[in-house]
């Protein structure tokens, strides 16, 4: 089609975002909600292209993002889903609501792929190769999704070095369920390991915490309809996680409601991250996955009893199927 670039490249700033830019972007979104990204740099004066604004928000600034080290459980989910779905990072990310597709993609490319290759190399020496053909570095039962898939799944898990390496990881579907159960604040672990600004949600949260308290109330009625109070969004989820860590069964406050739910329980028009409908397309693309989703959650249900033991801190949160 030869369509022009998303924005005029002249005068467009590139590179890492500064705290000031983040504040401007967040305050604008806070007021108007995400979407209409083309107007964001125009209205805010940010010398960024609309796509850059959207990415910055989606990957780093929006509420509900958990940063820091991936847990072995998350690794297992990613490996498993990647084997099922291929490099459909957005779809995989939908099962890990606290992680962004970019994060998962990066983690896969920098950690898991090598890890699997390494283990496969070792496995090739000590064990016969897996029978399934693969379009990637790991076994992908691409032709078996759906009927009769579960057996392949179990075989795959049994042969998967990541799952056999660590006894703590019991079952991928169970882990999916655990993720559903453990829907909680992205800052729960406090394991933000990076010291750089861009990856420091603490920094951003501090900025926002101070900034948002000074923000004026929403002027836009439409935005006001969908926008939760500023403190609910940006105060590091501030108190939102306390009740989780405290093991109570209190209904989650606004922030938790803003966390996206996993695909199987979500209509196509659901409200996405941050309470805004900012992921309609992503949800729409979940459609073809329904057999996989069904299988995942059927198996997850079978593992529910085990999960009660595994997720003691989170078991009070109801699973919404």
Q: Which residues bind DNA (CB under 7 A)?
A: 1, 3-6, 9, 13-17, 35-38, 48-52, 54-56, 58-60, 67, 87-91, 101-103, 105-107, 109-111, 114, 193-196, 198-199, 278-282, 284-285
Nearer to DNA, 13 or 149 (CB): 13
Residues 116, 79: contact at Cβ < 8 Å? Answer: yes
Nearer to DNA, 4 or 217 (CB): 4
The CB density around residue 313, as the number of other CB atoms within 10 Å, is: 15
Nearer to DNA, 97 or 253 (CB): 97
Can you tell me the distance from the alpha carbon of 216 to that of 233, in angstroms, rounded to the nearest whole number? 15
Nearer to DNA, 139 or 181 (CB): 139
Nearer to DNA, 3 or 131 (CB): 3
Q: How far is the CB of 268 from DNA (least distance, A)?
A: 8
Q: How far is the CB of 309 from DNA (least distance, A)?
A: 30
The pair of three-digit structure tokens given for residue 239, joined into one six-digit string: 């108190």
Reduced to 3 states, what is the DSSP secondary structure of residue 213? coil
Q: How far is the CB of 244 from DNA (least distance, A)?
A: 24
Rg for the chain, CA atoms, rounded: 21
Nearer to DNA, 96 or 314 (CB): 96
The CB density around residue 24, as the number of other CB atoms within 10 Å, is: 20
- DSSP label of 59: I
Q: How far is the CB of 263 from DNA (least distance, A)?
A: 11
Can you tell me the distance from the alpha carbon of 178 to that of 174, in angstroms, rounded to the nearest whole number? 6
Phi/psi of residue 129, nearest 5 degrees: -70, 150
List Cβ neighbours of 36 (8 Å cut-off, separation of 6 or more): none
Nearer to DNA, 198 or 238 (CB): 198
- DSSP label of 68: S
Q: How far is the CB of 36 from DNA (least distance, A)?
A: 4
- DSSP label of 216: P
Phi/psi of residue 319, nearest 5 degrees: -85, 130
Can you tell me the distance from the alpha carbon of 108 to that of 87, in angstroms, rounded to the nearest whole number? 9
Q: How far is the CB of 240 from DNA (least distance, A)?
A: 22
Residues 50, 37: contact at Cβ < 8 Å? Answer: yes
Q: How far is the CB of 180 from DNA (least distance, A)?
A: 19
């Amino acid at each position: 089609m030869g369509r022009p670039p998303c924005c005029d490249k002249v005068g467009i700033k590139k590179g890492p975002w500064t705290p000031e830019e983040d504040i401007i972007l967040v305050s604008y979104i806070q007021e108007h909600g995400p979407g209409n990204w083309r107007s964001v740099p125009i209205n805010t004066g940010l010398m960024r292209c609309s796509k850059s604004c959207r990415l910055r928000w989606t990957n780093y600034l929006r509420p509900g993002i958990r940063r820091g080290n991936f847990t072995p459980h998350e690794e297992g989910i990613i490996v498993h889903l990647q084997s099922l779905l291929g490099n459909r990072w957005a779809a995989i990310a939908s099962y890990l609501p606290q992680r962004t597709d970019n994060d998962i993609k990066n983690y896969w490319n920098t950690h898991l792929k090598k890890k699997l290759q390494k283990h496969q190399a070792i496995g090739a020496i000590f064990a016969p190769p897996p029978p399934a053909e693969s379009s990637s570095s790991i076994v992908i039962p691409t032709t078996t999704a759906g009927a009769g898939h579960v057996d392949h799944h179990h075989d795959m898990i049994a042969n998967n070095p990541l799952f056999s390496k660590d006894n703590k990881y019991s079952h991928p579907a169970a882990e999916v369920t655990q993720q559903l159960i453990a829907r909680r604040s992205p800052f729960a672990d406090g394991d933000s390991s990076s010291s750089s600004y861009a990856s420091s949600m603490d920094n951003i949260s501090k900025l926002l915490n101070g900034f948002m308290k000074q923000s004026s109330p929403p002027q836009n009625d439409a935005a006001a309809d969908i926008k939760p109070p500023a403190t609910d969004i940006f105060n590091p989820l501030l108190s939102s996680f306390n009740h989780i860590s405290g093991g109570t069964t209190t209904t989650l406050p606004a922030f938790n409601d803003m966390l996206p739910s996993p695909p199987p329980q979500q209509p196509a028009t659901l409200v996405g991250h941050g309470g805004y409908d900012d992921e309609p397309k992503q949800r729409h693309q979940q459609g073809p996955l329904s057999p996989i989703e069904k299988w995942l959650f059927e198996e997850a249900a079978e593992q529910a009893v085990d999960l009660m033991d595994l997720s003691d801190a989170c078991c009070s949160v109801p699973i919404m199927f």
